[in-house]
Chains A and B, each alone.
Chain A
Amino acid sequence: MNAYLIKGARPLGGDPVDILLKDGRIAAIGDSLAATGAEVVEAAGLIALPGLVDLHTHLREPGREDAETVETGSRAAALGGFTAVHAMANTDPVADTAGVVEQVWRLGQEAGLVDVVPVGAVTVGLKGERLAELGAMADSAARVRVFSDDGHCVADPALMRRALEYVKAFDGVVAQHAEEPRLTVGAQMHEGDRSASLGLTGWPAAAEEAIIARDVLLAEHVGARLHVCHVSTAGSVEILRWAKSRGVQVTAEVTPHHLLLTDACAESYDPVFKVNPPLRTDADVEALRAGLADGTIDVVGTDHAPHAVEDKESEWAQARPGMLGLEQALSVVIETMVEPGRLDWAGVADRMSVRPAAIGRLADHGRPLAPGEPANLVLVDATARASVDPAALASRSRNSPYAGRELPGRVVATFLRGVPTVLDGKAQK
């Protein structure tokens, strides 16, 4: 059977309706729909959103299958309400050739839980020295449109300029990890009052802001698309606001953890809170929320970064940076944006589905909930609250910064092209 009748869901938080999914598409939306042969999904009170799209996911395969695989990461994504995720290029081997991106893409197809969209490296081996074969990756079966050396900054300004220019040929976008490397040698956490007393080497906000300022000028100069990954500081939001006011083709992303957590977490010295860019101050968190609310920041990207236990159960300086995000992203957005009234459900759909799909040029995602559209959608119980238990996560890793924290929102069902990947909060494969 390939038909589902969703009863009484509220599209973007509006009035309850029935939604009929058939043959991969939304067949009808209306009151008291009847469809013989369709499986009924009771959704009274649930919010219906277009399937979420993540521009920033680390799936670790190939190379670190002990931390995550395309399959386990896809399952975590589906449980988080995602129907498409962009798999970052910093695998081993690096996704800097058509061969590697096609492998990741194929693994995603086989897992069949979300559309896994590979991101291609900008430079060979993420070394920041020369361009990878961007055109070959764009032309491959994986149809790469987003290019990023994430984890590393494309620090060389001339190389960054060329990358921005070159990807215009196939409507690509360079997603920059904004970090001036000379300013962050040995950096462990946000540089400020807390790094001073904790004796951890500081990561100054200016190291991010300087690169964003440079890159928006370059993007303007060459008329190219720029996407800024994981914006973390109030100053960055200001620069982006200025650039957008000038018409620069720049988009920006904020992670769930930067919307919720601050550098106070480092006081535990628990490396589960070590992340790059680092957790910042209350003032930065406030500026990021405001930027996401007014659209200066376009999207929420998870920067889901699974790490094996031994890479986190160590000294702070020894631990790898990064934290899980796929399964709690929507909950964090509800907590920080929806419940305080800063974003309505249409806003959530825009920042977590419509805009990321547009940036990644994904035709079948981020579409309106309307008849004839691809049946990629998620049903959310916004009123449910639960405490996060890392052991219960679908990810192969356990490095959730939200362990023990109560968060709102539960993904009840996710549909990918009309097929449920999650039902009753459980992954379907």
Chain B
Amino acid sequence: MKRHLLEAADLDRDDATLVLDTAAQIDQALAGREVKKLPTLRGRTVVNLFYEDSTRTRISFELAAKRLSADVINFSAKGSSVSKGESLKDTALTLEAMGADAVVVRHWASGAPHRLAHWVRGSVVNAGDGTHEHPTQALLDAYTIRQRLGRLEGVRVAVVGDVLHSRVARSNVGLLHTLGAEVTLVAPPTLLPVGVGSWPAEVSYDLDAVLPKVDVVMMLRVQAERMNASFFPSAREYSRRYGLDARRMGALHDDAIVMHPGPMNRGMEIAAEVADSARSTIVEQVANGVSTRMAVLYLLLGGSPQ
């Protein structure tokens, strides 16, 4: 494994498989235990550096680090020196001086974790940067798919929604391709980046045509505000053309699953009866997020053979 996890491309097939296998071992080790804690990272310090509010991701990383017995510091940009104008570099040097072994960073700016990695000696884990990547989300998604379907090779995955602004989509396209899955991106053309043609994925504008052919439908959060910038005419039209409702869910084959990275806009990109159906893996994704992030921290900080 590389020292940092900044984007899906940092993981080759062996590394990615190792993370998923390690997460599975962790799940087994903790299954049925009353005290869900491993001593692996005792004495190590993990800093959660969050420049953007994301309670779910922060809690997931915090829990992962704590279950590995690491010391966890939460450094939120709001109400700290950061909001008083301290630069990313100065913050990095501060964390460095405090001896952070790993910095988990969430940032509104694409590439901020790459910059951070230049300035700290510890490992940097990208917990979502701007509209770039969110590699641990892709790992937990891959873990969830493998858990449900038993494999990743050849699995057909539709990623539906605001691909243009989605770090989840970018990481998933990269990682799923690495792991042998076949990705189709489905979105209105306005929500696909110019240049998407160079991605290892198919592109479709027609959700109904894609649904019967896939094993996994991954719905992306779509912000209703996007319609103000004319990405689509109205929330209703978006929902009609690209939302996953019960009727559309009926077009899926029997074993297909429905995923969502959360938080969901029920009624927008996904209907409540779909989100709550037996196909939905949304709650499992949250649980798997903790084990996968444990695996990442374990491999980056303590568990690597070298």
Interface residues of A (CB under 8 A from B): 188, 191-202, 204, 268-270, 310, 313-318
Contacts and interface: CB of A to CB of B under 8 A. Distances in A.
B132 interface: yes
Interface stretch (B27-35, B104-112, B244-252, B289-297): B104-112
Contacts of A200: 110-111, 130-132
B54 interface: no
Given A201-B131, A204-B194, 14 more contacts: A193-B198, A195-B194, A196-B196, A197-B170, A199-B129, A199-B130, A199-B133, A200-B110, A268-B114, A269-B111, A269-B112, A315-B115, A316-B112, A317-B110
A22 B197 CA distance: 63
A310 B86 CA distance: 10
B302 interface: no
Select the residue from B108, B110, B133, B196 with max chain A CB neighbours within 10 A.
Answer: B110
Given A199-B167, A200-B111, A315-B107, A310 B87 contact: yes
Interface residues of B, number: 25
A194 B195 contact: yes
Given A193-B195, A193-B198, A315-B109, A199 B87 contact: no
Contacts of A192: 194-195
B118 to A, nearest CB: 8
Nearest to B163: A196
B18 interface: no
A104 to B, nearest CB: 30
Given A191-B194, A199-B170, A314 B110 contact: no
Nearest to A266: B111
B89 interface: yes
Contacts of B111: 198-200, 269, 315-316
A68 to B, nearest CB: 21
Contacts of A317: 108-110, 130
A38 B129 CA distance: 64
Nearest to A191: B194
Interface string B147-187: 00000000000000000000100100000000000000000
Contact of B110 (A191, A198, A268, A270): A198
A316 B87 CA distance: 12
B133 to A, nearest CB: 7
A197 B131 CA distance: 9
Given A313-B89, A314-B87, A317-B130, A197 B195 contact: yes
Q: 4 smallest A-B Cβ distances: which pairs?
A: A199-B132, A269-B111, A196-B195, A315-B109
Nearest to A192: B195
B88 interface: yes
25 contacts: A188-B110, A193-B195, A195-B195, A196-B193, A196-B194, A196-B196, A197-B170, A197-B199, A198-B132, A199-B110, A199-B129, A199-B131, A199-B132, A200-B111, A200-B132, A202-B195, A204-B194, A310-B87, A314-B87, A315-B111, A315-B112, A316-B109, A317-B108, A317-B109, A318-B109
A197 B110 contact: no
Interface string B92-118: 000000000000000111111011000
Contacts of A313: 87, 89
A135 B110 CA distance: 45
Contacts of B112: 269, 315-316
Contacts of B115: 269-270, 314-316
B85 to A, nearest CB: 10
A314 B112 CA distance: 8
Nearest to A271: B115
Nearest to B111: A269
Nearest to B118: A270
Nearest to B114: A269
Interface string B189-216: 0000111111100000000000000000
A10 B112 CA distance: 50
Given A268-B114, A269-B115, A315-B112, A197 B198 contact: yes
A195 B193 contact: yes
Contacts of B132: 198-200
A84 B88 CA distance: 39
Interface in B108-141: 108-112, 114-115, 129-133
B226 to A, nearest CB: 13
A159 to B, nearest CB: 25
A177 B295 CA distance: 51
A196 B109 CA distance: 15
B53 to A, nearest CB: 17
Nearest to B51: A315
A303 to B, nearest CB: 23
Contacts of A315: 88, 107, 109, 111-112, 115
Contacts of B130: 199-200, 317
A75 to B, nearest CB: 29
Contacts of B107: 315
Contacts of B167: 199
